[in-house]
A and B are shown apart, each in its own frame.
Chain A
Amino acid sequence: MQELIATLETQSDPLPGAAFEPAIVAFVCNWCTYTAADLAGTSRMVQSPNVRLVRMMCTGMVDPKYIIKALLGGADAVLVSGCHPGDCHYINGNYKARRRVKLLMEILPRFGIDSRRIKLTWVGASEGNEFAATVNRFAAEIKELGPIDTRRLPLL
């Protein structure tokens, strides 16, 4: 994680005039969305290169602080993606993830972090095309939205 954040940070200052390339951190579950990403890759689907995947065993183990740290540490957006409801390898981890994302959606936008920068999706293991489409759509949305404030601020 620290190495990931460090790479995000070193890449965050684009050359003047260059188009904004967002950095998106995606927390994906091993059983569904990561497998879908794998499928998208082996199927040679075109995917936006702005997303850095963090493979978790389950979205149910994505503590709110991981998302907060990513957004404070230079990520322009965070994607949390797991199994469809009812399909969780650990029965109900994705339902817990949904409550945590709901919680963060109540907290972070109050401090000026646009709620569009946090996304929760369900992508099953066989949905390589859905994964590529989700990533591309999200990257386009964030490009439109522009860089996150926390990159420039002398944050405490």
Chain B
Amino acid sequence: MGSIARIEVKDGNPVAALQNFCARLLADSEITAVLAPRQLPGNRGAMPALVAAPEQLHDIDPLAPSFRLNAARMLTRLTRGADDGGLVAALLRPCEVRAFIELCKLNQGSLENTLLVSLDCPGAFSNTDYPRFAANSGDTWSLVQFLGTSGRGTHGGIEIARACCTCEHTTGAEADLSIGLFGQDVEKGLLLMANTPRGEGFMTRLGLPEATDDGSRDKALEALLAERRAAQELMFAETTAATSDMTGLSQFLSACVNCYNCRAACPVCYCKECVFLTDVFEHKPWQYLSWARQRGALKMPTDTVFFHLTRLAHMSTACVGCGQCSNACPNGVPVMELFKTIAAATQKAFEYEAGRDPGEAPPLSVFREREFPELTGGLD
């Protein structure tokens, strides 16, 4: 267990305390800029901003229950390749950290060039629900109420996104530093925990007062995880039942219009150019007519099921379950439910967990000489 420090909260305002924490990071000579969620004008939620000047930290809000996009890919842009421009400190949700680790394994970003700071994730509303939360109660008091539920936040009957309700990776322990919210009185103080040697180094330099963990965080976490796992099992069972055959899968995806927003929003859809956007899918008219004749009728646009199955095959082993696919879907297709269910199975098959460990190679990038003898009837 690494060392623990305390982030003091003044005037019952945890957001100000984290802005102050960002300012301390920025003041460190090694850190050039901070990447953190910043409030957008007009209650539209928060988007990542790269802040280099301390006076610009006033809109930073890492606690807003808004998750407009997964910032992992933004951070890859700031860290890839050898860089001597200094470190970027990134405040990310745990699922963003895990997605970033997946991208680093594919050499699209670098863990060397960043200080990852994560937090106990209270979850977030979907992009469509967030403005209602913000418009009615976007003040500090209601935020403190929201955080006080330790991951069970609701607003006027609206729950946090289903991806968050079924998430069991709530702590960001994969980051260099993580901020503890669960089981804490967020109006008084937060915990700061170091998880790596680099994190330890920064912790010492930040000069925050030492703290001890009284066990209340672990207790809150344990209770939450039990609920989350139950919700996840329920979702897996529902999705499996609904998609148990091709007819079911077709119905499940029937509202899809092939906009490929899920692919664009997916942090771990790692291809630089997606095959579904290439000439491979510019079919000739005779091809469509041939399909239509053969089946009697052809749904346009074509290849919807094919697209989702291919994406499952390509990225489900890297899926971190952030739910941005469903967040980006304009037609309410339960994409996250499908991908999370299948990802749980494919990752288990390769004894892999996306984002768990930067040293763990993606399953399809490696092989062993002797494995899976059942595929070839015992011959290997």
Question: What residues of chain A have their CB less than 8 Å away from a CB belonging to chain B?
Answer: 2, 6, 9-10, 12, 64-65, 68-69, 72, 74, 85-86, 92, 95-96, 98-108, 110-113, 120-122, 149-150, 153-156
Contact = CB atoms under 8 A, between A and B. Distances in A.
Contacts of A121: 376-377
Interface stretch (B38-46, B157-165, B214-222, B240-248): B240-248
A85 B349 contact: no
A65 B309 CA distance: 8
Nearest to B286: A6
Interface of B: 240, 243-250, 253-254, 256, 275, 283, 287, 290-291, 294-295, 297, 299, 304-306, 309-310, 312-314, 316-317, 342, 345-346, 349-350, 363-364, 367-372, 375-377, 379-380
B306 A72 contact: yes
B341 to A, nearest CB: 8
B291 A9 contact: yes
Q: Which of B244, B313, B349 has the most CB of A within 10 A?
A: B313
Given A100-B364, A110-B345, A149-B247, 7 more contacts: A104-B313, A106-B346, A112-B246, A121-B377, A150-B246, A155-B305, A156-B250
A9 B294 CA distance: 6
Contacts of A64: 310, 313-314
Contact of A111 (B245, B310, B316): B245
A72 B249 CA distance: 12
Contacts of A149: 245-247
A74 B295 CA distance: 10
B290 A9 contact: yes
Contacts of B342: 106-107, 110
Nearest to A111: B249
A103 B379 contact: no
B371 A69 contact: no
